[in-house]
Structure 1
Amino acid sequence: MARKTVQLLILFGLFIGIIGQQQSVFASLDANEQKAFINKLKGSVQKATEEQRLYASLQMAQAIVESGWGESALAKEANNYFGVKGSYNGQSVTMPTAEFDEYGNQYEITASFRKYPSAYQSMKDNAALLRQGVSWNHAIYSGTWREKAKSGTQAANGLIPNYATDPDYATTLKSVINTHDLTTLDQTKSVIKTQQNVVKTAILKTGTRVDGMYSGAPYNVSGSKNVGNTSAYQGLTVKITKIAQVKKPDGTNGAQYAYTTIGGKNVWVDLAGFKVIQDGVTTLVNAKSGYQTATISSTTRTDGLYLTAPYSVVGAKNAGNTKLYNGQQVLISKTVQTKKPNGKLASTYAYIKLGTKNYYVDVLALTGIKTSVATLINQQTVNQTAIINATTRKDGLYSNNPYGMSNAKRIGTSTAYAGQTLTVSRYAQVYQANWTTGVKFAYVTISGKSFWIDARALTKVKNGTATLTNVQNVKQTAVVNASQAIYDLYRNNPSGMPTAVKQGTTQALDQQTVTISQYAQVMQGDGTTGPVFAHISVNGQTYWVDKRALRSIENGIASLTSVKVVNKQAVINATKRRDGIYSGAPYQVVNAKRVATSSSYQGKKVTVTMTAIVKKPNGQIGAQFALITLNNQAVWIDIKGLTILN
């Protein structure tokens, strides 16, 4: 058989020994024994060569030739099929072996050979040598690689002259490969023998069977990739679009595989894992929406409950049956009819809510079907006041009933009553026709109008009916001050009273003189009182405002006296004093509003058309004011702030 030169053996460091001719051994084994040997090493050979992308047929032929069909002492005692010297993980055996000197003379020595724990390690060593080569030339055996040789017989040429110097070595290996049909070992992958396009509906079987799911190709076919298994999809209805017959590496027929979509993935699954229920697919027709109630009846029949779609429709998944739910009330949200592949109409299914889940079930499993209607629940009679918040939200106003009830009528939005106080007489929630509970609504009354509004639109909710307390009639003047804080203005009553209507803010009246006719506090139904409000008049309008919005409050009402019409020229003088400039009336007189100061008009020439003296609320004579025109507006200024020119 093959001979290795001493020089090459030393360079390789593997010390591959020479095993004598095995012809006598070849002849001593019958066909069954030879087949048994191949079957014994098949798994190890295919695994080792697959890892290194080599031909299993070549390695099997080498093992046969170099170990004499496994009858060599090395193969039997050390699982060493290639006469590799040295030790393996510290394990070795000592045996005599023949060597040749550089002149071709044979001599015998005793050497240590690697002892492997199994045949696989021996095959793995051999495959690593052919793929990785030696330190000075990693491609020295590249002729044996799958990417370089088209077959195991062609790869045998890659062993000459570096692996063996005997030119007959490759010839011997080729003969063994051909004689024993070892090329079948090179086919480690299955192939698709036949494939047909189909349209079938099938259900993944339930029980203990779990099949792998493969993208690209069926199991063990080139391009196949495992992407999960069917355990989570048992009972799922799918559409099969291809069926493939797989041929195993040994040439026998393997399983049939179905191509389908599961969990959003296009996959191949063993056809035996399905129950094929029909050719073609079932479709849905005559869909109708509408809430209805019904009762499950499983006394005389038991029907399946299906997720996602009705029975036989792609996507349907069986999730149980009606047997355990006899007499239980359910909510129907829609119905749909199934249409078979042959075009015939089949069962009508109802989409029901059962507990917390939704299912499709045959309508024949239901009795007492009737339309579901909304009702009021959690009704509560109260006596409260509250204020509408339309600043951060906008809510609808409804007459007759809250939103969600059949006769509810929208009559406006909360913005029309923003900031206004109202009374609350009732609360209720809508139990919808779809068996969900809506938000809490309040039935309120304001300015003689009653309506329903989302209770979340109400703020400062107080129990009981609000009333005015500590009412005091007065006759005073004051100045609105919005420079420090801005307060709301209210019509009819102070904030907190049901008839109070928000009407702007004090910013519009800033620095304006007003009259005060009344003070009062709002006492809520729970006995608490709010701030003191003042009832003011200005520019012919009346408002209630928080007393803290007013300054310079004085008893009585100031008036004008010694009013004279004049025509004088003057210059505004703000060098030694600074005076306020007022529209409407002089300072402290009702309707007076400070609009500027004299310092802004220093040295401006103006015409005085009227003078008047302010008579204070206590009867004392105040300052004399002049009526002048500034920026096309008639305004009043203390006459001391002017230098009269004529």
Structure 2
Amino acid sequence: MIVQKKHLRACIALSSMAASSLLFGNKYAFADEVNTNTVEPQSTATGAAAAAVATDTPSAADEPVVSAEMPVAGAVTATEKDGVKQTVLDPLLPEATEISGSTLPNGYLVFYKEDTILAETAVDETGLFKLPVTGIVAGMKIKAVVYGNQDKTTVLEETEWTVPATDKPAADVAMPDPITDPTLAAPEASGAAETVILDPLADETLNASTELPAGNIATETPSMSVSAAAVSVETAAVQEAKGSWYYYVQSGDSLQSIATHYATDVASLVRWNSLVDANKIVVGQLLSVNGTNAYAEIDKETRTFADNAAFVNYLGQYATDIGVDYNLYASVMVAQASLESAYGTSKLGTVGNNLFGIKGSYEGNSIVMRTWEEQSDGSIIWIDAFFRLYPSYQESMVDYAEKLRTGVSWDPNYYKGTWIENTTSYKDATLYLTGRYATDSSYYLKLNSIISAYSLTKFDGPKTVAADYSAIVAGNGYSIDSLPWGTTGYEYVASSSAYYGMEVHVSRQTADSQYSYISIDGKDLGWIDSAALKRFATVSTNYSLPIMNGGYSIDSLPWGEPGCVKLGDSATYYGKVATVVRETANGAYAEIAIDGVLKGWIDKKAFNAAFESYTATIQKGNYSIDSLPWGTSGYRTLDWSSAYVGKTVSVIGKSADEAYLCIAYNGAALGWVDYKAFESFGSVNAYYYAIVSGTNYSIDSQPWGEVGYAYLDTSANYYGKEVLVTRKTANGQYAYISINGKGLGWIDNRGLQTFTTKAVSYSLPIMAGNYSVDSLPWGEPGFVKVADASVYFGKIATVLRETANGAYAEITIDGQRLGWVDKRVFNNVKQADYYAGISRQSYSIDSLPWGTAGFQTVGSSNEQLGNCVKIIAETSDGLYKLVQKDGQTLGWIDNRALTAFGTVAANYAATIQSSGYSIDSLPWGTTGFTLVSLTSSYLNKPVQVIRETANGAYALIAVDGKTIGWVDKRSFNK
């Protein structure tokens, strides 16, 4: 038929439609339909099913003919008086507690039961209403009167209804609130546009009308019941294939009314949808009305979002690649999806993953929502709207991008103004959509606002990949841009110089890693050339320590990092309390702030690194708390200990002489105070080492018995260990001890033994088993036998300390501290440290020098022939040598199997640049050397030199940490 300039108002029922797609800001869309050829669907439905469909065939005089609308189950029957009424009531059942629908806008609506007022309300410009009522029963006559104002002086319209009886229970549903339902929120709340022209996006296969130019809305979308009626009731009832139409249950629905409307039966709906209770359905439930419900197989989008930002970032991971594939702005795509779906909360967005309100079907699947339309003569018809059901948001976005690139049937270039090649920035695209996609004149402003609020331009440009790491801005003169530099529409934001030396977070990178998207302290900055960033692992920290060494620099980056610039010296801040905000992953460098100002990176050795903080209670007043240890040049008094008597503070540092402690209270650094402020007793400074020789003494926070003392540890845990004594009580009875820089506490002086020792470091095998291993040197008061040396006969012992007279040694074996031994356990052996080559065959390698009682053969010189070994010990007569290879002890070997050669340690990189040289097991020419490889195999490759011959002619090289052999150093030169 030909439709001649027929006027149509499409009003969307609040209980059924997604706010983002069809209703925006509670305003209706108006459009003229011009000369559109449509095919009138033929209905074979009968009874109630056919009655739900209004035909729209014009008469010869082009006047629309509207069929009488028969009531479906559960509907309210209206008594029509003069003309077509504007007040429409949603389906209402007996015992209902609410009345909802639409009426004349900007009026005052009153419902009457005879002369009694049931409910009344003012109606806004949308004409929508919802009111609570009581006492609704079958057969009741309800009259609605629309007045011009609340004074009820002018009647605009009267309408009557009769509440029908129902033979089927209504759906157990809660009536949606058209005001509070988040999917129907006004633009100010949800960001939805006021009006949208949907038809350029409608699926032509399911919309009987062809696509119309801008400013028009298709009017011939067929009712679902018409299509369903085309299939016989018998066929529909027995269909068991997977369903493709999913009806969105609305307020007032019942299984009987749904079954009647879609030409099937209740039993089929129950079976298809696996309903447990045939008498109960709920609003928002998706029911398959033409086969087995396979919605769970279709819907792959199960993610929920904490806030709008999480939603846009989730879409962004798809939008960038889709934007690149279709040459569209990903930022605009995400902004439209957010606006149209109210950030994914609209009904279509949540149940159909349909972010843009596109009509039709996707891979044969549709979400069906019941709507009503008001014709130009004021009559109302109900129709079913088909919307595409997508498996996920990604398919919805791809489908939409496809539409923007292919246009509409009458104009494939309909959206060409959104294409990147036709624009200079995303703002051109949003402006072009205004008046085409949406009639809202401020549509582009809303999109631009969303793009700006969530920095959506970060998704534009070339394909990107997610990233999550921190980096330092280490380059000056690089631009920070809204898009990767050179991308269409990119804009300059700032210079890298403004953030030089600062840490930024990288959240995305271009696929080629050339550009990175950065933010600082949660604020997005933009895209920067990755060459301007320096990445190294850091960890966030928050603690304070005083700077106690003035010989270190403060730098823009950890010292040695490329681009590192010196900013100052630690000496400037000597004694100052620095707050450490970050550390390098290896813990070597710290980024510090002093007095709340970020200063840069410093070597942690500038602190007293061995000091571990602890808590203590201030006992005495009248001691000053100073900016530096009292008496230090430039110190100033900040406070007094009197203000903190009885309070527990954190001790975060100590002066070199331990006379002053740096303290903090409740996390805030206070300054330096005399250690005597923590004591309720007299004490004197001390500085000497001692051995913990008692096992039954307590280590306490104060000398045992002093007021407020607390047990900290037992001397048994430190038995035999060396400690440093830094203070003693005035009577000498108690001593304050520490170990490895960590303060332990006060101990009874009787638990300590003092004797002079010296630190050493060498290794020798235990060669005599008739000596004991003791907790202290044998004979010292309190010494206890730990083991017999015979247990470790032949083992290599590392000597850590010796007594001043050299008679006793403290040893470890295999990294475990054993105790003190008489040095005669090393009888008949002496230290050695040189290299030799195994140059002769047929010599045994033994666990002890050959012939020593208990020796065992563990190898042969044949197996090690030509290898370079290290001599770590030898017998006193020099006949046997204890050898190691690559740090592994091999055993004892006859000196005649070795050829010694002088070497020196080395550690530098080199590159083999000449071929034709051999790489040998020993320096070339050394007795027993063998060919390992040729330099041609490593030509132009970097190597590490780890030793050299004494004459500097040959180098021992390693590649990737693996020792290769000896090479003539001339091979390093061309």
TM-score, reference length from structure 1: 0.33
Of Structure 1 and Structure 2, which has the larger fraction of its residues in strand? 1
Which protein shows a greater Rg?
1
TM-score, reference length from structure 2: 0.23
